Amino acid sequence: MDGPYEFLIYLKKINVAHHRFQILIWILNGIVISLLVYAVALYIGLPAFTEFYWQDFLPLAISPAILSVLIGFIAASILRRRRTSDLFGLFEPELADKVRAAYDNRRARSFPMQSLAAEVRTSLAGIRPSRILDWRQVKVRMALLIVLGSATAILAYSQISADITPSDFQSIADLRDRALDLFADQTAEKKVEVNLSGNIYGKPSLAVLNEEKLQLVLYPGTEAGSRAKATEATERLFKPTPPGGASAVPAELYIESLPPQNKEIIKKYFENLAKG
Amino acid sequence: MEERMTEDLKAIYSRAPDIFQRLRREIDKVMVGQTTAIEQLLVAVLAGGHALLESNPGLAKTLLVKTTARAMGLGYSRIQCTPDLMPADITGTTIIEETDGSKKFRFEPGPVFANIVLADEINRASPKTQSALLEAMQERQVTVGNRTYLLDRPFFILATQNPIEMEGTFPLPEAQLDRFLFKIFMSYPSFEEEMAILERYSGRQEPTVEKMVSKDEVIGLQALSRDIPVSEELKKGAVELVMATRKWEGVQYGASPRASIGLIVSSKARAFLLGRNYVSKEDLHVMAYPILRHRIILSFEAERKGLTRDQVVADILKHLGL
């Protein structure tokens, strides 16, 4: 690579700088999209849900965060493939045509090619790679990153969330139950049915009547339980209420939705629980 | 020997911008306006292709060709095509010649043995004669009897067609049209141009043209124009453009791969003529019209709607972003 063909060395330098710039844009895109996805997850309360149900298994407990990062970087990769920034597009249109023609014919040694190579070498020698990169793209992404980061922090440490009722989680819980049913053996199921634990949230059922499992499901939510992350430990407890008063139990939604013949036994269960 | 040729080429390359400038200036001494036609004619000569020129009578077709030939120092001949013109009238014939009491056959070359040949109103010649001419165009050689004669280089045919008189003509078949690199249109001059024509040609003395370049230099320029670098992106663009003509709505038959070659070769020649050492997108755009307009056949429906071939080319260029 001598004489006029030195332009290839200059072009290589610009290419390296451009490649690094592309990686930087990819990383920033990945972070921005991850933050956006995680912010949405926080808003609908997904991290609290997973943290509660899979608190013993860390990868599942933090799965919303992991998924957000995965989605973010997959989306950034797709964006990178679709919007491949052309190296030659960095130059002025006339110089871009010249560089493109010179690079594609770099093995030719004709007089026109030699004169073109010499022109391109002179032009590229006067270009500083960092000068021709579009730093505005980085600035825009940094600004987005700050805005989204702040929004995510606010969502994480405040009570702002979507108005989601337990029924919104029903389908997720059902799916999970079906999956559990598939893998769980019969003995384990019986054990769960008989030994009622002190944990009043979620499935398995809290009570059995005439060997029939009652479909009583409690989810973490306002006053019916607790949000594992956002609330104080004390708030998670049920307030002791005088026995008999149905209104004393804030989980009325569930009780009201139960068959009338099961109401009594459930009421008793809550009374016992409150006493305990 | 090769080194000498290389040195000569280098010298021609360094003088090329000056040669082209002087050539244009010399042609402009005689021609008024018609800048596009002049440019396309020079590009065709540089690219080593032939051109079909369509214009109404009296628009200086013959003058343009004669002037170009003279300014380039090339041999020129003119064939006025008529229905009774025979192939031998073009290619030449073998005659018996008596020298020192003995008789010998001698080949008398026809008008096709020139560097620049103007075949006026080619569509008036019979298909047989047209074929003889087109064979010479393609092969750059003429076979008479059992002997083959190579044509001098550079060899360039400019055939003209009169678009308004179709009676008693034999329109060129599409396959033969494909052999012409360009189809050039010459339009009527503007008011100012016609005034300038009056001024220039109504006096006692008509402008004269001087030789600005030698035949060897023209051959050197042709070789150099083929060396002009063109990017892969533009090559792809040329192929996409030609392929698009084959499936474009309103086009019955599209252009052949000869059009792709012609597009790149003529774009190189244009870039060289304009003093550039690389082909730009603009070259491809400008050359697309004369290259494609005679190579695509519109469907009956499209012609009925009043669609022209140039419109189709423009639409495809726009669609491809060229």
Is A111 within 8 Å of B228 when comparing Cβ atoms? Answer: no
Of all residues in chain B, the percent with pLDDT exceeding 70 is: 98
Q: Which of A100, A111, A112 sits opposite B231 (nearest CB)?
A: A100
**Contacts B11 to A, Cβ<8 Å:** none
Length of chain A: 276
Q: CB contact, 8 Å: A77 with chain B?
A: no
Q: Is A126 helix (H, G, I), strand (E, B) or coil?
A: coil
Bridge partners of residue B76, in order along the sequence: B116
- A106 and B CB contact within 8 Å: no
Q: What is the pLDDT of residues A157-185, one digit of tens each?
A: 876 666 655 566 666 667 777 777 776 65
- The reply to whether the predicted model has a pTM over 0.80 is no
CB contact under 8 A, B229 and A111: no
Q: Please report the residues numbered 117 through 136 in chain A whose beta carbons come closer than 8 angstroms to any beta carbon of chain B.
A: 119
How would residue A192 be classed by pLDDT, with cut points 50, 70 and 90?
A: very low
CA B56: distance to chain centroid?
Answer: 18
Dihedrals phi, psi of B73, to nearest 5 degrees: 65, 35
Question: Is A108 in contact with B232 (Cβ distance < 8 A)?
Answer: no
Query: pLDDT at residue A201 above 50?
Result: no
Interface with chain A: mutation pick from B5, B228, B268, B278, highest number of A CBs within 10 Å: B278
Contact A112 B280 (CB under 8 A): no
Residues of chain B with CATH 3.40.50.300: 2-227
pLDDT of residue A42: 86
Residues of chain B with CATH 1.10.8.80: 228-322
SS (H, E, C) chain B: CHHHHHHHHHHHHHHHHHHHHHHHHHHHHHCCCCHHHHHHHHHHHHHCCCEEEECCCCCCHHHHHHHHHHHCCCCEEEEECCCCCCHHHHHEEEEEEEECCEEEEEEEECCCCCCEEEEECHHHCCHHHHHHHHHHHHHCEEEECCEEEECCCCCEEEEEECCCCCCCCCCCCHHHHCCCCEEEECCCCCHHHHHHHHHHHCCCCCCCCCCCCCHHHHHHHHHHHHCCCCCHHHHHHHHHHHHHHHHCCCEEECCCHHHHHHHHHHHHHHHHHCCCCCCCHHHHHHHHHHHHCCCCEECHHHHHCCCCHHHHHHHHHHHHCC
A174 φ/ψ angles, rounded to the nearest 5 degrees: -60, -40
Tell me the per-residue pLDDT of A128-158, one tens digit each, with 9 for 90 and over. Answer: 888 888 889 899 999 999 999 998 888 888 7
Instruction: Please list, in sequence order, all residues whose beta carbon lies within 8 angstroms of the beta carbon of residue B105, skipping any fewer than 6 positions away.
Output: B94, B95, B96, B97
What single letter denotes the amino acid at residue A38?
Y
Q: What is the tens place of the pLDDT at every residue in A5-17?
A: 888 999 999 999 9
pLDDT of residue B266: 96
Relative orientation angle of helices B257-273 and B35-47, to the nearest 10 degrees:
110
Q: Do the chains contact at A97 and B224, CB–CB below 8 Å?
A: no
Helix B2-30 and helix B215-226, axial crossing angle in degrees, nearest 10: 100
d(CA A56, CA A54) in angstroms, rounded, equals: 5
Superfamily per CATH, domain B228-322: Magnesium chelatase subunit I, C-Terminal domain (1.10.8.80)
The predicted complex's ipTM stands at: 0.83
The distance in angstroms from the start CA to the end CA of chain A is 86
Search chain A and give the residue with CA nearest B230. A101
User: Looking at residues B280-284, what average pLDDT do you find?
Assistant: 94
Closest CA to B68 of B154, B8, B161: B154
Residue contact A105–B281, C-beta within 8 A: no
Chain B CB within 8 Å of residue A98 CB: yes
Residue A147 CA to residue B90 CA, distance in Å, equals 82
Residue of B nearest to A107 (CA): B229
Confirm or reject contact between A176 and chain B (CB < 8 A): no
- Which tens digits make up the pLDDT trace of A236-254? 555 666 665 444 445 556 6
Query: CB–CB of A108 and B227 under 8 A?
Result: yes
- Number of A/B CB contacts below 8 angstroms equals 54
Best interface-test mutation with B: which of A11, A111, A116, A120 has the largest number of B CBs within 10 A? A111
Per DSSP, what are the bridge partners of residue A136?
none
Instruction: Write the single-letter amino acid at B249.
Output: E
Nearest to B280 among A97, A105, A110 (CB): A97
A107 close to B (CB below 8 A): no
Cβ of A110 within 8 Å of Cβ of B272? The answer is no
> Residue A137 belongs to what H/E stretch?
helix A135-156
Which position has the higher pLDDT, A138 or A232? A138
**Minimum distance, in Å, between the CA of residue A99 and any CA atom of chain B:** 9
Determine the distance from the C-alpha atom of residue A137 to the mean position of all C-alpha atoms in its chain, rounded to a whole number. Answer: 24
Give percent above pLDDT 90 in chain B.
49
For residue A272, what are the CA distances in angstroms to A196, A208, A210, A265, A275? 12, 15, 19, 11, 5
Question: Using an 8 Å Cβ cutoff, are B39 and B31 in contact?
Answer: no
Q: Do B277 and A113 touch (CB under 8 A)?
A: yes
Residue among B227, B279, B280 minimizing CB distance to A110: B227
Map residue A66 onto helix, strand or coil.
Answer: helix
> If you classify domain B2-227 with CATH, what class do you get?
alpha beta
